Amino acid sequence: METHTGMQSPKGVWWKRAHPTERMWVAIAFGWCMVLFAMMPLWHFKGGQNPAGVRYRVKPADYMRRTQEFIAAHKVGTDQGIPIVEPPAGSDIYLIGLSFAWHPILKLRQGTEYTLHLSSLDVNHGFSLYPMNINFQVVPGYDYGLRVTPTEAGDLRIVCNEFCGIGHHTMVGRVIVTDSAGREVAVADRAEITREVAP
């Protein structure tokens, strides 16, 4: 009987040349890896997915104060106790994420540029604009100023896409985008949409 220890090489075929088809597949896999590797920097410049804006450090209390000033200056109504704010074109607009709501409701105009400030007063939240394909992390202690231009009128929902606690699934906010003449388009059934995005 043959004894075997870890000091002896096991019998194998590693010294034989790989079969041509295996070598071909390794070459294809390597080539594909290089394509994916190249896509990372390419997409960074060509993908149109990078946030346009600036980032600052901010104390939550200061951010809260700025947002309250912003609300007081441009408030046009309320919806279920949450202020609706219609800021002038080109202005700095403020949105707070805190467990488990978004403040205030922004009323924006299609085709108009704003600088959207996003920050959280407590934990990480995720800003996801339904039904558009927009995602952004909302982080306490940082104010992200994003340059945004609404491209379509509608009554949109902000859905929190970062798990933030027991009420995470109820953290739904609202953004109203009026058409370029400032008119609101048909308002969707709020309960219906809330059910759709937060089952």
Binding site residues, ligand CUA, CB under 6 A: 100, 125, 160, 162-164, 168, 171
Which of 83, 77, 130, 115 has the alpha carbon at shortest distance from 102? 83
Give the span between the Cα atoms of 43 and 4, in whole angstroms: 53
Closest CB 28 distance from ligand CUA, rounded Å? 42
Could you please report the per-residue DSSP string of 175-192?
Answer: EEEE-TTSPPPPPP-HHH
Closest CA to 182 of 92, 109, 104, 85: 109
User: Cβ closer to ligand CUA: 150 or 173?
Assistant: 173
**Minimal distance, residue 132 CB to ligand CUA, in Å:** 18
153 or 160: CB nearest ligand CUA:
160
CB of residue 77 vs ligand CUA: minimum separation in angstroms? 24
Across-strand partners of 140?
Answer: 120
Residue 140 C-beta: closest distance to ligand CUA, Å: 11
> Judged by CB, which is closer to ligand CUA: 117, or 125?
125
In this complex, which beta carbon is closest to ligand CUA, that of residue 155 or of residue 162?
Answer: 162
Least distance from C-beta 105 to ligand CUA, angstroms?
A: 16
Output 153 or 172, the one with its CB closest to ligand CUA. Answer: 172
Q: How far is CA 158 from CA 25, 82, 136, 170, 174, in A?
A: 45, 14, 11, 11, 6
Contacts of 118 (CB under 8 A, 6+ apart): 95, 97, 127, 136, 138, 143, 144, 146
